[in-house]
A and B are shown apart, each in its own frame.
Chain A
């Protein structure tokens, strides 16, 4: 039996902008079990990032219910949310978001450090090899190509030994070829390590390669 990774019911996020209220995510019901590879698609402003942030315990929810890895996080404040995500959820961002002063290896170590896990170079190298970074481990981010940077970012997410990965438009800054390669890394992680992965994307071609696709529009799941 697969474990429930995400369980959302009537999940809602409302942003107040002046007098206006925007329901960025509106009454979403969603269940994701471990081992899934899900893509979230939808037009710009449809609430993909907002939904992902809530699932990643980066942001408090407005109403509804949200359980992550069996924990009810609906009413949690940041000080408690950090305990849920630390070492359990791996994040990957569109713009890679590596720490520019740290080498590839050190960026990966940093995540282990925050997660309170071993920082042994040998272990870090395993993660870097898994994403296909090979010999460039001692390069600074600025000495790496976009595709390579995103590989480091994935290795960094893996270093915390997370239960699932969240990637917000991980290929948004990459060309077609690199995008496909990054997606291949995700596929491999999902298949070989049975890692649960949730990505948002605008790219139909990539979205179609995941096991499941959720379409959002105006904060609601349309299919």
Chain B
């Protein structure tokens, strides 16, 4: 017999009440863990996505830079066009390590998604594209046979959606063009997975966009020179330069207000859970007033009673913490799904990242919560005077 077994038995006495209280804590903890997991997961996915674009700077036609940036992250480009001349002009700048021109076009395909209809995204690229993304690997097939070949390389998911293998034909709706699939990329975990890549020249030709580009991705030799380089390009008419670091900051800013709101919800949930715990424990000690008096009569000191009630509170909170962590783990898929629908921009990858350290934190946090919330009820119980307690309810 020790304080924990006695406390457990007390909690089991009113099973429904204890369960509901633990449930309240569990929900609050689950919400908090999910949010914190989201916080980490989102940043990490976003950073990962941006890193995997391979370039630090993106030159696009003038327009809303954020719109362009988001479009770019979503799949390659705002659909404004710039002249290829600019690419020719800047490509020999000594500060540039790698540079790649891109031309994105979309086509509405009424047969996509089992007849629901949807946009297919095409991106014209050159050999330099792979230099910026050295991690890109072919799942099957290979690179285009020539600069203007009527061929396509499909991203992993695009190939799955369209159910194409190397050697198959793909049909581009609206412009009635048929291309041959020569390669399929392995999954990269980025937006590239959903894109159908064509040679740049082919794209310009079949979409009737001669000498047009939607963007130029640039990787500098020295990342310190980003600012300077950006400034030099201000001179060029009709274009803008977007640094991916800025994009990252902007997107994080965009979601920060949503995060503040969600965090307030979590804080309120914790607050309500704490009130619930204090209420339950207080109720149970008032119901047990006489019992507490009897315990004191048979030798329990105020400290013994304090420990007992404190332990009960800590047990409730700890159980809630563990249960809440389990809820958060099990529910992270659902939460992720909801978040992806709500957010203005959701990077690919795992958005709700619940690491063991986070779970451990939740566990410790719940215990601390119990330690703090338990003080008042424990003190109330401990300071009951034995005679009065015993005479209560006689």
Contact = CB atoms under 8 A, between A and B. Distances in A.
A160 to B, nearest CB: 6
A97 B291 contact: yes
Interface string A83-120: 10111001101010101111000100111111100010
Given A97-B290, A101-B10, A101-B12, A114 B386 contact: no
A160 B365 CA distance: 38
B208 interface: no
Contacts of B297: 56, 58, 85, 91, 93
Interface stretch (B106-114, B127-135, B175-183, B298-306): B298-306
A218 interface: no
A109 B387 CA distance: 23
A167 to B, nearest CB: 12
Contact of B390 (A86, A93, A113, A114): A93
A110 B1 contact: yes
Contact of B304 (A100, A106, A114): A114
Nearest to B9: A101
Interface residues of A, number: 32
A106 B295 CA distance: 13
Contacts of B298: 90-91, 110-111, 114-115, 156-157, 160
B1 A119 contact: yes
A82 B301 contact: yes
A100 B291 CA distance: 9
A2 interface: no
Nearest to B393: A95
A157 B300 CA distance: 13
Contacts of A58: 296-297, 386-387, 390
Contacts of B304: 114
Contacts of A156: 298
A62 to B, nearest CB: 13
Interface of B: 1-2, 6, 9-10, 12-13, 290-291, 294-302, 304, 385-387, 390, 394
Given A82-B301, A97-B294, 20 more contacts: A58-B297, A58-B386, A59-B387, A78-B386, A79-B302, A83-B301, A86-B299, A90-B298, A91-B297, A91-B298, A93-B294, A93-B297, A97-B390, A99-B294, A111-B298, A111-B299, A114-B295, A114-B298, A115-B298, A160-B298
8 contacts: A58-B297, A58-B390, A85-B297, A91-B297, A95-B394, A97-B390, A115-B298, A119-B1
